[in-house]
Structure 1
Amino acid sequence: MRSDQPAELSPASAIGRIPSLDGLRGTAAVVVLLHHAALAVPGLAATYYPGRPPSVAASWLAYSPLHLAWAGTEAVYLFFVLSGFVLTRLVSSRGFSWEAYYPSRMVRLYLPVIGAVVFAAVTFLLVHRTGDAASPWVAARAVNYSVGRALTDMALVGGTSGAITPLWSLTWEVIFSLLLPVYVFVARAVPAWVQLVVAFACIEIGAVLAIAPLTFLPIFAVGVLLASRWDSVRAIGESVERLRWSWLVWLITFLVSAGLALSYWWTAPFSTAYYTWLRGPIVLGAAGLLVLSLLSPWARRVLSSKPFRWLGSISFSLYLTHEPIVIAFAYLFPGREVLGSLIAIVVSILVGWLFFLVVERPSHRFSRWVGKRARLLLSPSAEVAREPSP
């Protein structure tokens, strides 16, 4: 292994957080925040709604590489691939146990979600929603948040109410987390090429037929496959690093991956009908960005820097809490939506940090305690190792 290869990528090393993946996760969370902040602006929201011709400025932001900065749906697909990779890597770590994993993982996901639902309910009470906002996206958001809707959102598995739209992805995160042993077994037992063909075929078929489980659950399988075959993927990266023009290979990889992730936006000016057929390329682009963040020295250096890692530490909290803030400021600044969105971005990052300190970090610690207690209860003779949650 090259001397500059990060030790945490070695299969023999103990499980630990990979700094560049923290930075990638934080970047994706900010992209989702920018996505919703942009949708609160009527001109930019028009690019997502047929029959509403966007302005020239909005067209440049939507139908060019600039859209990478606010490609929210694509960022969520990256989250799915990333979850598949990280959880599979956790399973392969020393000291891992299924007895600890299940209760710990559920606590890790559900407690912050419950906190986010309570936070959203407070924003509904503080800022009255009328449904007549200038942005079609804001106007389509829920105007009230009943107890029934809140309980539905807290449950996740049965589907969400739509009042907090980012929660839709948590439904699939929970289901994937429950099915993780099946994913890991398939990844180890089935040839890689078969897994890829089946996964991408299911993604496309699910998108065309509008079958949500068939569309979203195979996206996690791509990350699971990458983690289970990481030795081979890493060897390719090491081969690239031995090339004189390795930086050019990584640059091309980034451009191709980003281009695939934005597949829909290259065709959207002509027809929105292609979206259902472009899910596979979008997921492939997301997987490419994940691999790049792990293998490219310059990508690792940037994403492992303190600002990106800090964003990664609050990424889950930011993801859960930002949308009610964005919508609230859209109503507080009617006719000045750009200003409202800019303020909402700053406030969302601040609230995300506070939510991390008050809710997510204590939940994370409690989830570890629950996992250790469950392991001792279900397997008393086992030695409980200190395992960081993904």
Structure 2
Amino acid sequence: MSSTDSGTQTKSSGRLASLDGLRGLAALVVVMHHTMLMDADFPGTPGAVDVQTGTPLWWMSYTPLKLATAGWESVIVFFVLSGLVVTLPVVKRAGFDWIAYYPRRVMRLMIPVMGAVLVAAAFVVAIPQRSTQPSGTWLTDSSTPNFTWEYVIKAWDLVGGNGHIDNPLWSLRWEILFSLALPVFVILAISLRKWWAAGLAAAVVLTWLGVRGGSGALSYFPAFFVGAVLAVRLDAVRVFAGHVNRFAVRHLIWLGITAGASMLLIAPWLFGPGSSTELTPGLRALAPLAAAGLVVAGIGWKPFGGLLASRPFAFAGRISFSLYLVHVPILIFSAYLFAGQPMFVAALVGIPLAILVAVGFTWLVEARSHQWARAVGAWASARYATAFRAPEPATSGEVRTGDQDDAGSTGRREAATVAQRSRAS
């Protein structure tokens, strides 16, 4: 997940400001997800056993309350949002500058990632991480008892490295690969503009194949594609929202869409701990469509969009990328700092500390990465234009008469006048 280059533009225009709040909400859910994973008995934790029906952990995992800790599902929301906001400038802006885009996008992602890895390393070395939980639990597997500087280098390598010291970096690999392959996603989304339903159906099938077969590319790339389709069809989404908002029962319709998308997002959990191994991949394959439903509701339903654009969610949206990057090492640090205490003690310290660090990280690193990325993108575009600028017509050896110069000047003035009229029309 990332706070994209176009996110600031869409927010400043007010047209998609609610989606920043949706990103912030998803980031908070991921924080809660990793907080609960520190409990070795929490369902979904590696090695956890089935919990007894009716216990607090059961209610938090197999009812709609799961929305508060749906970490994997929230990452799918991030991917759909990235597909939308990264694709949108390409399809809405004539003459999109691809030369500026690539260095800008890579720097926009990599500078915060490199900074977050250093933050993670600082928290890893701050306290010994020797887990007392059994081998195979999330806390044990995510701890780094024997830290060396090689962990930093491996974490910086998003494509082929190992982000062990900062767990959320696994998703940044797919963000960077999607960003590099953006032209392919744009072309596919535009080609399927009229057949968007078939494109979404194909995304579901590919996601199912990916989840069923353990393929990361097929599990996650379709979510970015769904976001790209939303970008291409954004005007149609607004037209659909306008139609719905003409009904007297529009709020009930939107409530049904929002609630239905939310339940579809966590559908595998609602079937309980004994759900079929064949059913779970099929339901997970629908997660990108569920995320798209929440995006549509955020755009079209004013009360929901207004809630997402409110100050608390807007604040969460501003720090969402930084919070996503830094929170896991801080939570693990808190777990070891309060080893032997109930888990909620570590949570009460770790969550506020993660938010505080994320605020500082947003100001110190992420905001500057925006500035540096724009500067590098502009520099690359200018260098490319200079290197491949068409040569001026040779004038050596030519003898121009006054009439020829006047004719040339007149022709240029006429051409300029025609161009101005053309732009005006």
Q: What TM-score, normalized to structure 2?
A: 0.82
Partner in structure 1 of residue 398 of structure 2: none
- Contact 2:156–2:163 under 8 Å retained in 1: no
Which stretch of the first structure deviates more once superposed, 54-63 or 315-324?
A: 54-63
Amino acid at match of 2:306: R
Aligned equivalents of 1:326, 1:275: Cα separation in 2: 29
Q: In the alignment, what sits opposite 2:286?
A: 281
1:128, 1:294 → 2: CA distance?
Answer: 46
289-298 vs 36-45, which moves further: 36-45
Q: Name the amino acid aligned to 1:32.
A: V
| Contact 2:42/2:48 (8 A) holds in 1 | no
CA contact (8 A) 2:51 2:57 kept: no
Q: Does 1:235 align with 2:239?
A: yes
Q: Which moved more, 1:95-104 or 1:39-48?
A: 39-48
Deviation at 1:17, TM superposition (A): 7.3
Aligned counterpart, 1:189: 191
Equivalent position amino acid for 1:331 in 2: Y
1:32-111 correspondence runs (5 A): 32-44=30-42, 49-53=47-51, 56-94=55-93, 96-111=96-111
Give the Å deviation of 1:242. 0.2
Post-superposition offset of 1:15? 7.2
Q: Which residue of 1 aligns with 2:377?
A: 371
Matched residue, 1:162: 164
List alignment gaps of at least 5 residues for structure 2: 1-5, 389-425
Which residue of 319, 322, 339 corresponds with 1:317? 322
Letter in 1 for 2:284: R
Contact 1:45/1:136, CA 8 A, preserved across alignment: no
Choose between structure 1 and 2 for higher RCO, CA contacts under 8 A separated by at least 6 residues. Answer: 1
In the alignment, the residues of structure 2 paired with residue 68 and residue 177 of structure 1 have an alpha-carbon distance, to the nearest angstrom, of: 28
Q: Could you say which residue in structure 1 is the equivalent of 2:300?
A: 295
- For the 8 Å contact 1:160–1:171, the answer to whether it is kept is no
Mapped to 2, the partners of 1:108 and 1:308 lie a distance apart of: 22
Partners of 2:223 and 2:329 lie apart in 1 by 27
Q: Is the 8 A contact 2:103 2:380 kept in 1?
A: yes
Q: How big is the shift at 1:131?
A: 2.5
Residue in 2 that maps onto 1:387 = none
CA distance in 2, matches of 1:126, 1:381: 49
Residue 346 in 1 paired to residue 352 in 2? yes
Counterparts of 2:99 and 2:361, CA distance in 1: 29
Letter in 2 for 1:379: A
Q: Deviations over 1:103-126 (max 9, x none)?
A: 000000000000011111111110
Q: 1:252 to 1:352 in 2, by over 3 A?
A: same
> Which secondary structure state, in structure 2, belongs to the residue aligned with residue 156 of structure 1?
coil
Aligned residues of 1:14 and 1:93 also touching (Cα < 8 A): no
Task: Report the Cα distance in structure 2 between the residues aligned to 1:131 and 1:277, rounded to whole angstroms.
Answer: 35
Q: Equivalents in 2 of 1:67, 1:73: separation in Å?
A: 11
Q: Which AA in structure 2 matches 1:120?
A: A
Q: Which runs of 5+ in 1 are unaligned?
A: 1-7, 383-390
Secondary structure at the residue paired with 2:164?
A: coil
Give the whole-Å Cα distance in 2 for the aligned partners of 1:159 and 1:199.
Answer: 27
Residue identity opposite 1:201 in structure 2: V
Contact map agreement 1:133 1:331 (CA 8 A) in 2:
no
Query: Do the aligned residues in 2 keep the contact of 1:47 with 1:62 (CA within 8 Å)?
Result: no
Provide the rounded CA distance (Å) in 2 between the counterparts of 1:73 and 1:247: 29
CA deviation after TM superposition for structure 1 residue 317, in Å = 0.3
Asked whether the 8 Å contact 2:123–2:333 carries over to 1, the reply is yes
CA contact (8 A) 2:91 2:231 kept: no
- Once residues 119 and 13 of structure 1 are traced to their aligned partners in structure 2, the CA distance between those partners, rounded to angstroms, is 28
Residues 325-380 of structure 1: per-residue CA shift (max 9 Å, x gap): 11111111123211111211111111100111111111111111111111111124
**DSSP 3-state at the match of 2:162:** coil
CA contact (8 A) 1:47 1:53 kept: no
Secondary structure of the structure 2 residue equivalent to 1:140 = helix
Query: Paired residue for 1:25?
Result: 23
Q: Distance in 1 between matches of 2:50 and 2:19?
A: 38
What is residue 330 of structure 1 aligned with on the other side?
Answer: 335
Q: 1:15–1:93: 8 Å Cα contact kept in structure 2?
A: no
Q: Is the 8 A contact 1:133 1:334 kept in 2?
A: no
CA contact (8 A) 1:81 1:222 kept: yes
**Residue in 2 that maps onto 1:139:** 140
Aligned Cα RMSD in Å? 2.4
Q: Which amino acid aligns with 2:262?
A: A
Separation in 2, partners of 1:14, 1:265: 37
Q: 1:373 is matched by which residue type in structure 2? A: W
The letter of the residue matching 1:378 is: Y
Aligned sequence identity (%): 38
Q: Structure 1 residue 44: deviation in Å?
A: 2.8
> 1:104, 1:371 within 8 Å by CA — same for their partners in 2?
yes
Q: Is 1:362 paired with 2:364?
A: no
State which drifts further: 105-114 or 363-372: 363-372
Superposed displacement of residue 324, structure 1: 0.4
Matches of 1:47 and 1:137, distance apart in 2: 6
SS of the aligned residue for 1:96 comes to coil
- The 8 Å contact of residues 48 and 137 in structure 2, kept in 1 or not, is answered as no
Q: How many Å apart are 1:159 and its aligned residue?
A: 4.5
**Does the 8 A contact of 1:207 with 1:279 survive in 2?**
yes
